[in-house]
Structure 1
Amino acid sequence: MDFLTKKLFSLFFLAALVIGCTPTQKETKSISEMSDEELGALADSLAQKFIIVDGHVDLPYRMNVKGFMITKTVEDVSVETTGNFDYPKARRGGLDAPFMSIYVPSRYQETGGAKEFADSLIDMVSRVPATFPEKFAMANTPADIEVNFAQGLISLPMGMENGAPIGDDISNVKYFFDRGIRYITLTHSKDNQICDSSYDTAYTWNGVSPFGEQVISEMNKWGIMVDISHVTDSAAFDALRLTKVPVIASHSSCRKFTPGFERNMPDTLIKALAANGGVIHINFGSTFLSKESQDKFEKMREDLTNYRAENGLSSEDSVYTAYAKQYATDNDVFEDIQKVADHIDHVVNLVGIDYVALGSDYDGVGDSLPKGMKDVSTYPNLIKELLKRGYMPEDIEKICSKNTFRVWRKVQEVAKELQSEV
């Protein structure tokens, strides 16, 4: 059976399951013959069947801003909220393992207290499953996630966004591993002690610093994934040269669609990432998806700033917020879900299906999410779009979790080997 025949047979079979018949009956349909409702049902079923991992969700910082970090209780994420993530939305969308971003703003590099702030967010995340043990569980490995999934629990693995909390003490790498951190984004919006940031212009190290080289080696040793989102191209290439294991980009997209936007990854870097065996997790923010959206958002910021000044309004004023919402609608500033799929297509066409995953940046990119992907209930919409484009279910499962698990398991495996050499 050739590839095309196998592909068509698989799609016929899945379509048959959705409409409730066997694949040999006359009612069997191809994806192209399915109604929009049937296609949506198939996408919903796959979202619930597959483990969905999201490489970056900023729930911890959102909860911190709302004041739950310092109390004995946590935001009741088991009920519907105005944020992008909560339990009901996650259940509807089939989200099983959102990486909780332990985001440490760059200001802590100047003021101090980065480690303490990271610890406070880790403590807060840990309180979520303690408060809702029937809904959530911590997870330190892919195996943990698989066990939690079988038990109907949403896993909360953690990644630290910004290596600043390591400070100048290399032993803090092991410290944060022991606290449950399973990837570290080397820096954020400013150059730090580890490497240069794509949002900075200082180019302090022209890549990774000498101390950063030690950090990457220590991350390899203890089994923490190296995350090259937010870093400069030179720092990313340095990291790829230095690491002994595959790396990830936890929430980045393709620079092909956003020329000049260094926060996204160019084709040369995506190819190098694939050669390393790593994975790029596509960011859903509209300004990560297209230059057109970036231009619209820039004009919107200017126009809204002028509107507030002319009318003496604050950004919290209800008159202003209503105007801003209408402005965004009238000027169509948000990208479409199809553009998220375009980024996935681009990676697949460039390097193959094994090197792309999901890294939404939910609760992190603000009100910039594309139409059709406004919160964690909407993963089936993306699956539906991928089905329409001819992706096989096994390909979609790779995007949902298997590619990330492959990297994570390799990092674990090599860490054991490195520790045994000591």
Structure 2
Amino acid sequence: MDAKQGRDTFYTLDAEMEQRAHILHKNAFIFDAAISMLGFDKEEKTEIQAFLDGGVTGGNMSLSTSETDFSLAIENISNFKQLIDRNPETLKFCTSVNDFKICKQERKFGMVIHFQNTTPILDRLDYLYTFYDLGLRVLQLTYNTQTFVGAGCCERVDGGLTNFGLEVVAESNRLGLLIDISHCGHTTSWDAINFSKAPVSATHAGVYSLAHSFGRNKPDNLLKAIAETGGVLGIPTQPCFVKRNPETHEVLQATIDDVIDQIDYAVNLMGIDHVGFGSDMSNYAARTLECPRDSNIRLVREKRPDVFGVGPTDKYDPFPIGIDSHAKMLNLTRGLLKRGYSDEDTKKILGDNWLRVFEEVWRI
């Protein structure tokens, strides 16, 4: 791992700080709160190896996004569990905090089921329990559009949580599902924050004050409210949420420094206990820039440049230099130390803040 990471060094540190970074990274719980499954069906071993090379302990794996229905979600979970069964020496299915501890001990990558939409449950609370029983632990209330639960960030009118949406929030609290508002519209997000009895998080959303993505990057008052619930903001590496021209929405080439700029801003606003990492990245996509037919880049970007920025619609924008692969996660540790973060605070951002939220919400 060290040799590979050494070739990908973005920062130049003195010998003492470099050693400090390696030791801290090796011992830290490192978590990515939003990972795309794109590429696992094409280059399975390569995808897995990137997490191992980067020392990543675990991540939320997105198994439901745009219009995933009940049957497709079941199929996705089946394929997901088969992937883990094929790779027992490197992967572990995680539904509890203790599972992460095992991953750290055995140097495996822990995978959590994350739905980025509630379309799989339709308007059935019993389906929510079914998916929880199958291992779902993180639930985004909407994707980009209206559902039975609430409004996504691309809807023209955001009426907030529906009556059913309020029931979903309450049932999620009861079951122990972490509520995610990354793609939710503003009113829907505020309703989730105001009605939830447990921490509400944005697993993969940026800072609107630094990159003006409407809906997907969150304004200061909403970020403060997330922190007040005890939740965490996962800073992304998805290019259109990291750096753009504020007037034209043109997506600009970013580096890991731009990602850490967002971390700095969020820490100063929300507090050190409420900021983490949520890349919203597929290593395959970052490597090839290949985007699927149903991606937001192809389907939504031209209609909503205020959300997804101005750029190509047939491929992804280049990911931030220095953190365009999970194999380069040591650069995040290096960069945080270089900015002056203490070892303890660096570990909080790398994953301990997510661990705290999981301990509180999952209760198992």
Global fold match (TM > 0.5): yes
Q: 1:258 aligns with which of 211, 218, 222?
A: 211
Q: 2:178 aligns with which of 212, 225, 236?
A: 225
Q: Taking structure 1 as reference, are residues 190 and 296 closer, same or farther at Cα in structure 2, changes over 3 Å only? A: closer
1:259 shift after superposition: 3.1
Aligned alpha-carbon RMSD (Å): 2.0
Q: 1:170 aligns with which of 125, 139, 148?
A: 125
1:40 shift after superposition: 3.9
8 Å contact kept, 2:52–2:108: no
| Partner SS for 2:92 | strand
Pairing of 1:324-343 with structure 2 (within 5 A): 333-343=252-262
Pairing of 1:70-149 with structure 2 (within 5 A): 75=42, 77-78=44-45, 80=46, 86-106=47-67, 108=68, 114-149=69-104
Pairing of 1:386-405 with structure 2 (within 5 A): 386-405=336-355
| Partner SS for 2:58 | strand
1:39 shift after superposition: 3.7
Pairing of 1:18-417 with structure 2 (within 5 A): 35-36=13-14, 39-59=17-37, 61-63=38-40, 68=41, 75=42, 77-78=44-45, 80=46, 86-106=47-67, 108=68, 114-203=69-158, 206-259=159-212, 261-292=214-245, 295=248, 297=250, 333-363=252-282, 366-413=316-363
| Partner SS for 2:95 | coil
Letter in 1 for 2:278: G
Q: Taking structure 1 as reference, are residues 43 and 105 closer, same or farther at Cα in structure 2, changes over 3 Å only? A: same
8 Å contact kept, 2:333–2:350: no
Q: Taking structure 1 as reference, are residues 186 and 402 closer, same or farther at Cα in structure 2, changes over 3 Å only? A: same
| Partner SS for 2:61 | strand
Match of 1:4 in 2: none
Any unmatched runs of 5+ in structure 1?
A: 1-33, 69-74, 81-85, 109-113, 299-332, 417-422
| Partner SS for 2:154 | coil
8 Å contact kept, 1:47–1:93: no
| Partner SS for 1:208 | coil
1:412 shift after superposition: 2.5
| Larger-gyration structure (1/2) | 1
Query: TM-score, structure 1 length as denominator?
Result: 0.72
8 Å contact kept, 1:293–1:335: no
Query: TM-score, structure 2 length as denominator?
Result: 0.83
Deviations 1:9-30 (A, max 9, x none): xxxxxxxxxxxxxxxxxxxxxx
Letter in 1 for 2:264: D
Distance 1:263 1:162 in 2: 14
8 Å contact kept, 2:152–2:184: yes
Distance 2:281 2:22 in 1: 20
Q: Taking structure 1 as reference, are residues 248 and 346 closer, same or farther at Cα in structure 2, changes over 3 Å only? A: same
Q: Taking structure 1 as reference, are residues 400 and 369 closer, same or farther at Cα in structure 2, changes over 3 Å only? A: same
Percent identity (aligned): 28
4+ residue segments displaced more than 3 Å:
34-42, 293-298, 364-368
Distance 1:170 1:87 in 2: 34
Q: Taking structure 1 as reference, are residues 37 and 231 closer, same or farther at Cα in structure 2, changes over 3 Å only? A: same
Distance 1:293 1:409 in 2: 38
8 Å contact kept, 1:58–1:103: no
1:97 shift after superposition: 0.2
1:258 shift after superposition: 2.1
8 Å contact kept, 2:30–2:58: yes
1:297 shift after superposition: 4.1
Distance 1:294 1:90 in 2: 36
Letter in 2 for 1:347: A
Distance 2:48 2:247 in 1: 31
Q: Taking structure 1 as reference, are residues 263 and 148 closer, same or farther at Cα in structure 2, changes over 3 Å only? A: same
| Partner SS for 1:335 | coil
Q: Taking structure 1 as reference, are residues 262 and 76 closer, same or farther at Cα in structure 2, changes over 3 Å only? A: closer
